[in-house]
Amino acid sequence: MGQIPDFLNTSSLTFRDYKLRIVDHKEIFPNNKDLPVFNSNALEVSIHNIKNLSSCFLYLNDDMLLGKKLKPEHFCRKDGKINVYHNGWNAPEEEKMKQNLWHKSVGTSNQLVNDKFHNGEVVKHPYVSHHCYFFKTDTLKEMEEKWQNQYKQTRTHKFRLGNDLAIPFLHGAYSVESNKGVYVREKWYYYGLVDNNRTNNLKIINGIKKKKPQCICLNDGLDEKDETNMSSAIDRMTLFLETLIPNPAPFEKLYGN
């Protein structure tokens, strides 16, 4: 039950024509001996195993939310290709790979793409923008067929490691290289790193108010050692989000309950 968020009203998962289904990790991992895992990379290499998953879908991390309605043309082009959004930051980032496991996993994934499409030559591919991801299920399955050993290996990692696969990056680069996608640099989303600094957080709040983006990512940069300022930052962002999205979803508990 630890994978079910506290705010979810599990007694009411159906609303009109909508139904929320909780997917247990056991349903998507081919080998349940790999469970439990606390590694988002291991979960992402397994996400296409969800039963009755649509042919294409939106995938959001727990620091992402939608600020406006989205249209299919945000993701799908008239020629059938998908838009792969990026911010101009290219992988591999050699220095950052030495210090950060996530950057290293992106570098690992970039090398796999280069081995397949560029005979191992070091070709840089953009980091995909950190906002709601548009995935095609067939492409995800095709990727696993290409790199079965790397998928199996990532699933065995309880926590993140540098040789994990980074699926959002890999899906984007593979789609473009296989002529199924196009890199697009367009910011209809907002990314903010929330920390203990009041000025920084107010800048994020004002930026979201001004831009009114379709997708919002509030990444966690809070310092737990400074409990006073961390609590103030959480309270400030909570109040802002309650104002931005005042009505709870029908699947949520009322705030405070």
Q: HSE-up of 76 (CA within 13 Å, CB side)?
A: 11
Residues 6+ apart with CB under 8 A from 246: none
Residues 6+ apart with CB under 8 A from 130: 61, 191, 217, 219
pTM, two decimal places: 0.92
Question: Residue for token digits 């309605």?
Answer: 69
Cβ burial, residue 204 (10 Å; 0-12/13-18/19+) = buried
The pLDDT value recorded for residue 248 is 86
Condensed to tens digits (0 to 9), the pLDDT of residues 156-193 reads 999 999 999 999 999 999 999 999 999 999 878 999 99
Condensed to tens digits (0 to 9), the pLDDT of residues 27-73 reads 999 999 999 999 999 999 999 999 999 999 999 999 999 999 899 99
The pLDDT value recorded for residue 256 is 52
Contact 184, 86 (CB under 8 A): yes
Residues 6+ apart with CB under 8 A from 122: 92, 114
Condensed to tens digits (0 to 9), the pLDDT of residues 83-106 reads 999 989 999 999 999 999 999 999
Handedness of CA 69, 74, 77, 81 (dihedral sign): negative
